[in-house]
Amino acid sequence: MKYLILSIATIAFLSGCKPHSHEGENAEATEEHAHAHGDHDHAHEAPEGVVMQEITEGQKVFFANLVDGDVVTSPLTVEFGVEGMEVVPAGAIEENKGHHHLLINHDFVAAGAVIPAGDSTLIHFGKGQLSTVVNLAPGDHKLTMQFANGAHMSYGEKMSATITVSVEVAAKHLGDK
């Protein structure tokens, strides 16, 4: 019965997806978002009847190739890591499974809330991707990795990681114009 309710809630949620436009400052991240998620926006309400699982010790997400305070250049490769959960494409809501989201200059999303989509700073990886390349303007940027279930419902702060990176303009080599 539990799985029937979850299946019905997932179907109802996914049928509410609608196309949206991709306008914004970060065109490559937006293009990646379209490819990563299938070019859909989501209602900001959780499907009825879905109960969020408790996050246990040993379950976490992390940046596999970056640490807080890194000085980087753009475009920037971001690699996602997870422990205690399995990365799977969006869709079914299954215990200990989910997918990554990259939030640029945003905080974590509260447990149970649907992670919004719609611009280049809230990037969904609904196909189960483990990395991406983003273009960031020079300056400091907060990067928050957020793990969520198959309906894009956040597992909350316990399944998020936030770092700040400083993007510098790449030095030109002699002879470059």
pLDDT at 41: 41
- According to DSSP, residue 75 is labeled S
Tell me the per-residue pLDDT of 47-99, one tens digit each, with 9 for 90 and over: 666 778 999 999 999 999 999 999 999 999 999 999 999 999 999 999 999 99
SS3 80: strand
Name, in order, each residue with C-beta under 8 angstroms of 67's C-beta and a sequence gap of 6 or more: 163
Place of tokens 């205690």: 84
Name, in order, each residue with C-beta under 8 angstroms of 141's C-beta and a sequence gap of 6 or more: 104, 105, 164, 165, 166, 167
Query: Which of 75, 94, 72 lies closest to 85, judged by CA?
Result: 94
Q: CA 98 to CA 92: how far, in whole Å?
A: 9
* Helix H or strand E segment including 81: strand 76-83
**HEC states along 125-159?**
CCCCCCEEEECCCCEEEEEEEEEECCCCEECCHHH
Is the predicted pLDDT of residue 173 greater than 80, yes or no? no
pTM of the model: 0.73
What domains sit in the chain, N to C, each tagged with a CATH number?
A: 2-167 (2.60.40.10)
